[in-house]
Amino acid sequence: MTDLQNLNRSILFKQAGGKTIFQPRIDCWYDDRAYRGEALPAGYEGMSRKQLYEALGVSARLYEFNACLERYFPEEVKQHSRRLDDRHVEYIIETPLGTVNTIYASNTSNAGQMPAKWWIEDEKDLAIWSYLDEVAEYRFNMDTYHRLQKELGHLGIPTMFLPRPNLQHMFIEACGVENTYYLQADSPDELDAYFAARSRGHDKMLKVVAECPIECINYGDNLHCKILPPYLFEKYILPEYQKRGEVLHKAGKFLHSHWDGDVAGFLPYAKTCFLDGIEAITPTPQGDVTVEQVKEALGDGVFLIDGLAAVLFSDVYPLDQLKHQVEQLLHLFEGQLVLGISDEFPSDGNLDRILVVRDMVEEFNAKR
């Protein structure tokens, strides 16, 4: 294997002479098999996640480094949890302004969890979370950073994603989509006040991130324009992107965001987000945009990170269709591409297809 961390870094900072790197995120595929107690395919039996990346000879998107950024609260804030039954766990935060809680239910088909009761349900909860976001402090754990570098650094560049801003935080983590829109209709001033408090709280986080050694920073926003209309993206998300960009670009960070839903409505903003790249844009036959439309939107400056429709790694689709999309991306985005799967290697994916793409990338790089 080559030095994938230095190759990854040189690509992002445009010092690789047009080469790319292949980062197929196999984590969900791997976790599904572990949950089912299913053996890995022949030749890979018993391998850990790291060993599988090494055996495949591909790079990893190292979001394990998220563990380096730690959030903590003053002593008067108490956090605890309790198991309610075999599937449900309640998480509780006690503050001087009152108590908030959420309940998570474990899935029955995989190792994931979903909220059964949201953190934020009314104006009282908004006030408590405004307090929490403003009193939260952040620190960077260098011991964790060095441990992860030693364990995983040979597979790619250390990467972490930041907490979601305003609406995306509400949709995914705190309130749910439907409840958020009800709050926006019923309590718009209180909701906007919370968003302002969250933004102020994140100023402290940005200072810590700017000073940390991790160079590649992601906004793990999971944008989808059927849930977040473009006019609300422009009103709420875009200003946060621009604020983050102003701070973190001065520190020399490579910034990208995760847009993994339908994104046709967001593409006109791609060059105004203060982003160096966009992760997980999913082309047809899975997403709502073509490779050519993505290239037109990103131009020659913004990186595409991923770009291969995940479904093409399933045997349901002809191998030639996958190879054609690989060739499209390699040539259209030469010098601005970290090739990967939008968004994850699918549960029915064929590992042999990863090897095919790996070999195509190695052949492409050998000519540069």
What is the number of alpha carbons within 13 Å of residue 290 lying toward its C-beta? 6
Do 170 and 227 have their domain in common? yes
Q: Using CA atoms, how far apart are residues 153 and 204, in angstroms rounded to an integer?
A: 27
Do 223 and 86 have their domain in common? no
pLDDT digits over 280-297, tens only?
999 999 999 999 999 999
pLDDT of residue 44: 97
Q: Which domain holds residue 85?
A: 74-135
pLDDT of residue 1: 44
The CATH number given to whatever domain includes residue 158 is 3.20.20.210
pLDDT of residue 2: 52
Please state the φ and ψ torsions of residue 95, each to the nearest 5 degrees: -135, 170
Q: Using CA atoms, how far apart are residues 301 and 336, in angstroms rounded to an integer?
A: 7
pLDDT by residue, tens only, the chain of 368 residues: 458 999 999 999 999 999 999 999 999 999 999 999 999 999 999 999 999 999 999 999 999 999 999 999 999 999 999 999 999 999 999 999 999 999 999 999 899 999 999 999 999 999 999 999 999 999 999 999 999 999 999 999 999 999 999 999 999 999 999 999 999 999 999 999 999 999 999 999 999 999 999 999 999 999 999 999 999 999 999 999 999 999 999 999 999 999 999 999 999 999 999 999 999 999 999 999 999 999 999 999 999 999 999 999 999 999 999 999 999 999 999 999 999 999 999 999 999 999 999 999 999 999 99
Do 119 and 56 have their domain in common? no
Contacts of 217 by beta carbon, 8 Å cutoff, 6+ apart: 159, 160, 161, 162, 209, 248, 253, 254, 255, 256
Do 167 and 238 have their domain in common? yes
Number of domains making up the chain: 2
Do 9 and 121 have their domain in common? no
Do 112 and 244 have their domain in common? no
Q: Using CA atoms, how far apart are residues 37 and 46, in angstroms rounded to an integer?
A: 11
Do 187 and 318 have their domain in common? yes
